[in-house]
Amino acid sequence: MYTRRIAAMRVPATAVSHSRDRNKKALPDPMARLVMKFGGTSVADIDRIRNVARHVQREVAAGNEVAVVVSAMAGKTDELVALCKDASRNYDSREYDAVVATGEQVTAGLLAIVLQDMGIPARSWQGWQVPILTSEAASAARIAQVKGEHILAGFLAGEVAVVAGFQGLHAATGRITTLGRGGSDTSAVAIAAAIKAERCDIYTDVDGIYTTDPRVVPKARRLDRIAFEEILEMASLGAKVMQVRSVELAMMKRVRTYVRSSFDDPADPRPGTLICDEEDIVEQQVVTGIAFSRNEAQITLRRVADRPGVAAAIFMPLAEAHVNVDMIVQVASDDTVTTDITFTVGANDYERALAILEKAKATVGYAALQGAVDVAKVSAIGIGMRSHAGVAALAFKALSEKGINIRAITTSEIKFSILIDAAYTELAVRTLHTLYGLDQV
């Protein structure tokens, strides 16, 4: 699930004093109402489902009221998607939702069976039974409302609710809907908000949010706390620890969320990483994390007429085709009447974006269309950037000393992103990891 772990950084003393508050042990509260979410690798087979059941058993034994949200078993959603495509290239997206939602239903039923076998009262719930009410958009529905009365009634009877994640119900049509990949995270947070849970534990195949991908930097460390705003930026910039929409919902509803490992000993698990309000982190660091993405492509339009309406002519057709544009840089040409515009899109959208822009050439009036897919985006994030100057400049200097050329730069209040040649991705990450003190224990 977590193929690109996120980064948290401490800047050197010359830039800001170190903070230890972020790494204080953040233990979950005892005797609580909670939601536990388990991803596909955590429920990949019956043995792993039994391991999940032992995690649930621990919380029940502590006197907690527990709702569990599960994903499909690892690989099952891909199999179901492939079946839909094999059945028809032009399949009905509503029937697609009906098919792919079954993966989570199987997991929910199996976990309920295992819990019952352990002597723990449990029942499975499908999204439409809870119900989780959504918009009508097939395969990309958004949650409108969660009615938690059935789950709460089960708590009164001492029952564990096992809910199929990723799915809901469009009430007006009575159709099953799905929330898009990673939607079980969103299901879990929404249920936690609806039943007023003290916390939502997201169990994955990693034990929390790391300073960077340990496969790139072996000295990467786990954070104990991180702010909602920071993890939201990280998730949107390529870190795959949680779905972006789930983080948005957790931040809006103020749901205290832990990222934990399902592969820890169920009898003595580590606390993981707490995602919380900025106010819960007493002493804030300037830079908290680095995210990176190799799934990037660069497009440049040369000598575009510098006149009102040109930017709209470029980006509106892309938006209508649901091509997400990220970094945008505009540079005036020497002739003062034309400009060069560079931006990035996802690598999967690259060819489609080029075709759209070629069709729009007469309207836009550019002289040349250039592109590259051998690029990567590296981003540094931290709420402390709001009040400190020169944070990005330190990175630019360090990267230049390593011979890393920066193609484009974008900034906001709490992050900066750079576009570089993909071949230098790991070197850039290691350089910044050291620069901001992450190598220190």
241 is in an annotated binding site: yes
**Does 40 carry a binding-site annotation?**
yes
66 assigned to a ligand binding site: no
Alpha-carbon distance of 126 to 156, in angstroms, equals 20
Structure tokens at 309: 């309406």
**Residue 409 identity:** I
377 marked ligand binding residue:
no
Q: How many CB atoms lie within 10 A of CB 72?
A: 27
Helix boundaries (H) for 290-421: 310-320, 350-359, 361-364, 391-401
Q: Is 205 annotated as a binding residue?
A: yes
Q: Is 240 annotated as a binding residue?
A: yes
- Of 139, 235, 244, 226, whose CA–CA distance to 189 is shortest? 244
Confirm or deny that 253 is annotated as ligand binding: no
Q: Check the annotation: does 302 bind a ligand.
A: no
Residue 298's closest CA among 369, 395, 366, 195? 369
| Residues 6, 212 contacting (CB under 8 angstroms) | yes
Best CA proximity match to 190, nearest among 242, 137, 145 = 145
Neighbour-count burial for 58-67, b at 16+ CB within 10 Å, e otherwise? bbbeeebbbb
77 annotated to a ligand binding site: yes
Strand 132-134 to strand 122-125: parallel, antiparallel, or no bridges (unpaired)? unpaired
Flag whether 210 is marked binding.
yes
Q: Which residues are annotated as a binding site?
A: 37-40, 77, 104, 204-205, 210, 215, 240-241
Q: Which residues are annotated as a binding site for substrate?
A: 77, 104
Q: Which residues are annotated as a binding site for ATP?
A: 37-40, 204-205, 210, 215, 240-241
